[in-house]
Structure 1
Amino acid sequence: LGQAGVRTLVVEKLDAIIDYPRAIGIDDESLRTLQTAGLSDEVQKHITPYHWMRFYTASGKCFASIEPRTDEFGWSRRNAFIQPEVDQILYQGLQRYAHVQVLFGQSVCTVSQGPEGVALVVENAQGEKRTLRARYLVACDGGNSLIRRTLNVAFEGRTKPNQWIVVDVRNDPLGTPHVGMHCDPERPYVSAALPHGIRRFEFKVMPGETEEELCKP
């Protein structure tokens, strides 16, 4: 929208860009989008291309492997990345456009629409409310979207919730590339090599375990 010259207001519930680790994988289509936005050169500093994924039994035997070796669309099909770094690049990229503004710390309370556009009532941390008006509303508020629920838009599919403990370690103690999915029924876990010498471990929380005991040092 910024590139197209459309006056845009981004409403964000959080007070700032998240600085803690989140997603670690990005595909070729997403990188094409970042290239179109003119940000791919900066983003490449924080990705590892051709990121393979191997699946191991409890005894350590590899029984399946995903090894993307092609780049039909100009980019590796699987890439590791550091999301907070890329989020910052996206945010800084908005500074190129005087007609794009970001409002942090604003929660959307209600949404209404009429013949002249859309009205949002937003609220800050101090409980102060105000109304924002626009011709169009683009719902980019995630899987638990308030906008989707307000419009009664169905979200097909189902999932079985489960918890994992996620630990990111600097100065990668293993030094092995790619991602290992360790399918041990006693404790499934993931070990992933990331850019900048970071290693991610993810351990499944098993039935009967509590968050309190698992978070003890």
Structure 2
Amino acid sequence: MYDVAVIGCGPVGATLANLLERQGRRVVLVDQFAEAYPLPRATHIDGEALRILQTAGAADALSPHLGIYRRMRFEDADGAMLIDWPRPVEPGIHGWRDSNRFHQPDLEAALRARAATVAGIDLRLGWTVTGIAQDDDGVTLTTSAPDGALAPIRARYAVGCDGARSRVRQAIGAETRTLAPSERWLVADLILRPDAPDLPEGTVQYCDPARPFTYIEAVGRRRRWEVMLLPGDDPADFARPENVHALLGRWLAPDDAELERAVVYTFNSVIASRWRSGRLLIAGDAAHQTPPFLGQGLCAGLRDAANLSWKLAWVIEGRATPALLDTYQAELAPHVTHYIAEANRIGAIIQERDPDRARVRDATLLAQPQVLVPIRPRLGGDAATADPLAGTLAPQPRLGDGTLLDDAAPLRFVLLARPDIVDTVDPATRVIWSRADVVIVTDAAHDYLATIDAAAVLIRPDHYIFGTARTAEALDALTRTIPLAGAG
């Protein structure tokens, strides 16, 4: 029996499998397609997501293919700037740049290459899941091999990373809730030829009520345009090459670039009602779908993988009870809802088609231009603890030897603390640290602790702060809340 069956070998499923394998779990990773999708999809990845990929063992392979994402501009129909969103080009708190351009096939290749070379992952590509059943001891998947032979797969838990039309979501009886109206957009990916004209840097949102457009500088010579469909537009014809070239004529002639892909997408704002039923769970697009205006859809799925991986590992090895898995949705459903709401807020600015309302929007923003900054919501929303830092992202400092913190203690609880606090805790606290496999770091902790006015901070395996303490007694109390089986 496998520990976990992961259904879907896209970025979320492959990341989850690699994270679980790094914690000593036996994983079977099943996908109906033998090869990764070769064309562009996601084009933006943030520093937190790269930090997760670092922990999953794939960031080094992806890093050479990353591009700098310098800014996003919002312009009115006359080209005047309504909103500016500059992005830093130096590494942020995660040890990575906060915003990066990338080509999704490069990420999928890195994740699959690692999964194919480690003994703890059974990679079954070209296998189709035809049935899902669970009992008290595990999950049975009925699968069809590439040659058509039926083969059962048995695992203690199964996670559906199987996309917006998730079979696993159906199996757990989850409904989907729409958080905002859906809109249809053409997504056109092109590769510029060497003599193509100069194009804008970064991303430009053309907030023209006559026809909203988005332009995206992707990696290398790749560029993307997103074009909003208007009432009366025929989706079947809209993506025809001749129509795409006509729409992009203000930027390019047909001979200036190769049209790699053109497809009409529905930009959805959706969240599932349940992310777990017993031994079945869902993650990524199976659990939530975010409009692309923040570039957070993929990043949200990778956060699912990071949150779920350590909790599954702890439950499987008996370190925690299955109740820990209930915190997965409780923490991340409010978190991703914040991102969806912000994406919809920005999308409403871009997608305004009423000329009168657009004039009011433009006048307001031109009178007082906005500068956007990334949001970083807490885990759990209103259910978060009284500690204002609990559930927020912890930084990833470099230690004295130059090692990044997560490389020194991957997928483990980390205690950044002053030595005097560590030396004076109760002996029972040290027992709990041992049971929870807490890594104690006093090197490189002082500067950060001073900024948060704390003597110690306990960081979870998914890089979020579990809690802070100012005294040894407070650290004793915080340690007692680590979700170990039999604690308390």
**Aligned residues with identical type, % of pairs:** 29
Task: Report the Cα distance in structure 1 between the residues aligned to 2:178 and 2:241, rounded to whole angstroms.
Answer: 35
> Of the candidates 50, 59, 62, which is equivalent to residue 40 of structure 1?
59
Q: In the alignment, does 2:208 pair up with 1:184?
A: yes
Q: Residue type of the partner of 1:193?
A: E
The answer to whether the aligner puts 1:25 opposite 2:44 as a matched pair is yes
Q: Is 1:139 equivalent to 2:160 in the alignment?
A: yes
1:207 correspondence with 2:226: no
Structure-2 residue corresponding to 1:55: 74
Distance 1:128 1:66 in 2: 53
In structure 2, relative to structure 1, the CA distance for the partners of 1:143 and 1:213 (3 Å cut) is: closer
**Distance of aligned partners of 1:96 and 1:5 in 2 relative to their CA distance in 1, 3 Å threshold:** farther
Q: Is the 8 A contact 1:55 1:63 kept in 2?
A: yes
Letter of the aligned partner of 1:68 in structure 2?
A: R
CA distance in structure 2 between the partners assigned to 1:17 and 1:153 by the alignment: 27
Q: Which moved more, 1:91-100 or 1:124-133?
A: 124-133
Higher share of residues assigned strand: 1
After superposition, the C-alpha distances for 1:152-192 in whole angstroms (9 at most, x for unaligned) are: 23544434233222222223743432101111122111111
1:108 aligned partner: 129
User: Which SS does the other structure have where 1:147 is aligned?
Assistant: helix
Tell me if structure 1 keeps the 8 A contact 2:76–2:207.
yes
Structure 2: which amino acid aligns with 1:95?
A
Q: Match of 1:22, SS?
A: coil
Equivalent residue in structure 2 for 1:122, among 128, 134, 143: 143
Structure 2 CA distance, aligned partners of 1:64 and 1:195?
23
Letter in 2 for 1:165: L
Question: Once the 2 structures are TM-superposed, how far is the Cα of residue 149 of structure 1 from its aligned partner?
Answer: 2.2
**Distance change (3 Å), C-alpha of 1:2 and 1:72:** same
- For 1:135, what is the secondary structure of its paired residue? strand
SS of match in other structure, 1:63: strand
Write the distance in 1 (CA, Å) between the matches of 2:182 and 2:103.
Answer: 25
Q: Compute the displacement of 1:216 (Å).
A: 4.7
Contact 1:23 1:83 in 2 (8 A): yes
Question: Is the 1:168–1:198 contact (alpha carbons within 8 Å) kept by the matching residues of 2?
Answer: yes
Given candidates 101, 107, 119, the residue that maps to 1:98 is 119
Q: Secondary structure at the match of 1:195?
A: coil
Residue 133 of structure 1: CA displacement?
Answer: 1.0
Which residue does the alignment assign to 1:148?
169
State whether residues 14 and 105 of structure 1, in contact with CA within 8 Å, keep that contact through their aligned partners in structure 2.
yes
Candidates 11, 33, 45, aligned match of 1:14: 33
Rg larger for = 2
Residues of 2 paired with 1:129 and 1:123: CA distance? 5
Show structure 1 runs of 5+ residues with no match. none
Following the alignment from structure 2 to structure 1, what is the Cα–Cα distance between the partners of residues 53 and 222? Answer: 23
- Cα offset for 1:124? 5.2
Structure 2 partner of 1:169? 190
Alpha carbons 1:52, 1:78 under 8 Å: kept: no
Distance 1:125 1:186, change over 3 A: farther
The alignment partner of 1:34 has SS state of helix
Contact preservation (8 Å) 2:71, 2:202: yes
Partner SS, residue 157 of structure 2: coil
1:85 aligned to which of 98, 106, 120: 106
Deviating more after overlay: 154-163 vs 99-108: 154-163
Alpha-carbon shift at residue 8 of structure 1 (Å)? 1.0
Residue type of the alignment partner of 2:184: Q
Where 1:23 maps in the other structure, the secondary structure is coil
Q: Please, which of 211, 222, 239 is the counterpart of residue 198 of structure 1?
A: 222
Q: Tell me which moved more, 74-83 or 45-54.
A: 45-54
Amino acid at match of 1:74: G
Shift in CA distance, 127/207, structure 1 to aligned 2, threshold 3 Å: farther
- Where 1:180 maps in the other structure, the secondary structure is strand
Native 8 Å contact 1:55 1:64 kept in 2 = yes
Structure number with the bigger relative contact order (C-alpha 8 A, sep ≥ 6) is 1
Q: What are the Cα deviations for residues 32-65 of structure 1, in whole angstroms up to 9, with x where unaligned?
A: 0111123222212222234421111111111012
Which structure has more helix as a fraction of its residues? 2
SS at match of 2:33: coil
